[in-house]
Amino acid sequence: MSDDFFQPVSGFELPRFAGVPTFMRLPHVPLEHERLGEVDIGLIGVPWDSGTTNRPGPRHGPRQLRDASTMIRAQHATSGMRPFEAVNCADLGDVGPNPADIMDSMERITAFYDKVKAAGIRPLTAGGDHLTSLPVLRALAKDAPLGMVHFDSHTDLFHSYFNGTMYTHGTPFRRAVEEGLLDPKRVVQIGIRGTMYDSEDRDFARAEGIRIIEIEEFHARGVEDVMAEAREIAGDGETYVSYDIDFVDPTFAPGTGTPEVGGPNSFQALQVCRELQGLNIVGADMVEVSPPFDQSGGTAFLGVSIMFEILCVMAGQAG
């Protein structure tokens, strides 16, 4: 049972437009804080988009996501879950990247998450572009490879970009498999669609045993059936959840760098998270929210609503 220190500020006590924004109005507990060891789930910002190859902006995602998250309340509307009472949650702040150096930034991110893991905290991350997932996985999967449930319109399994650039937002999971951070036979990618450069990424997935569920199959089968298979693939082992906001149709989430039409609606975007129940989730992320392409903040609010859904599942497995 979470104590009062870890309770979010209520909108009945302080208007949601007032105060210093933290994720979901939780206390800010930096890594040096005396109560860090009491945190069960830590919300973390990674304001970094140096892996972006076209439309930039996700470096501004964590700030807008934090601001939007002041609208998140204490109780899930359908399950009744009250995650902030089930476990101790806190905003652990941002990882400070080096925007001029990809390799240095990844080292900084991994070092931050090494400390998070050592403290026994499960991270819920707000990116950042999708390359963010790789240095996070380097910390979380040090002991053994993880399974992964990946919501996206792209596989992010390419070998390289621009004649040998190995680290972009289109390559993180290729590197993660090569580095032994992911068990490919316990990885499922859901929602894949859009025009293609070629079939290299899908050929790699096929060769390694990664399950790709393209959007046509997703729509034909429905959320419950698809997610039942996803849970079966991930199994009982430790699992990472990576959620690219461009999984959602751009009608509902225009604020992203590489939108693809034909995706799920905003309700389905929440439903898939609810069907993660039962998985052993050791970490999760929400990436590719790009505020310059949706200054209304609607994409960010959907993003933090998805984060709350994932948080409720993570809190339920520990509570």
**Is 60 known to sit in a ligand binding site?**
no
**Is 130 known to sit in a ligand binding site?**
yes
**Is 152 known to sit in a ligand binding site?**
yes
Chain position carrying tokens 């140096």: 50
CA distance 82 to 1: 10
**Is 154 known to sit in a ligand binding site?**
yes
What does DSSP assign to residue 35? T
**Is 225 known to sit in a ligand binding site?**
no
**Is 49 known to sit in a ligand binding site?**
no
User: 309 by DSSP, 3-state: which?
Assistant: helix
DSSP string, 146-197: EEEEEE-SS----S-BTTTB--STTSHHHHHHHTTSEEEEEEEEEEE-S--S
**Residue 284: partners with Cβ closer than 8 Å, 6 or more residues away:** 123, 124, 125, 240, 241, 242, 243, 310, 314
The strand ranges marked E within the chain are 41-46, 89-94, 122-127, 146-151, 182-192, 211-214, 238-244, 280-287
- Give me the numbers of helices (H) and strands (E) for the chain, helices first please: 10, 8
List the structure tokens of 225.
Answer: 């059936």
CA distance 166 to 160: 5
User: 243 by DSSP, 3-state: which?
Assistant: strand
Pick out the residues of the known binding site for Mn(2+): 130, 152, 154, 156, 244, 246
Pick out the residues of the known binding site: 130, 152, 154, 156, 244, 246
